[in-house]
Amino acid sequence: MYTTRQDRAADYRRQAEEARSAATMVSLSDAKHQLLEIAHLFEELAEIEEREARKVAPF
């Protein structure tokens, strides 16, 4: 199934939000840190997809 870069970016942002939400429910500092790092990585992936989408977007 084909997905657009914008769709992938939105999915990455959704996953980042899920990771941040899970981090608020975790009491272990290390686990919380790992979830927040995962959220950050998903945000970076979303930014890459959005940047690439702008390169090929029609004018």
Pairwise pLDDT comparison (50 vs 58), residue with the higher score: 50
How many domains in the chain? 1
- Of the candidates 35, 41, 48, 36, the one whose C-alpha atom is nearest the C-alpha of residue 8 is 48
Q: CA-CA distance, 20 to 27, in Å (whole number)?
A: 13
CA dist 15 and 56 (Å) reads: 25
With pLDDT > 90 as the criterion, what percentage of the chain qualifies?
83
- Section 43-53 average pLDDT: 96
Mean pLDDT of 3-15: 96
Q: Per the structure block, which two tokens stand in for 17?
A: 């939000």
Domain that holds residue 11: 5-56
pLDDT at 57 over 80: no
Quote the tokens at residue 18. 């899920």
Q: Where does the pLDDT of residue 7 fall: very low under 50, low under 70, confident under 90, or very high at 90 and above?
A: very high
Both tokens assigned to 46: 């979303």
For the chain, what is the mean pLDDT? Answer: 93
Instruction: Average the pLDDT over 21-41 and give the result.
Output: 95
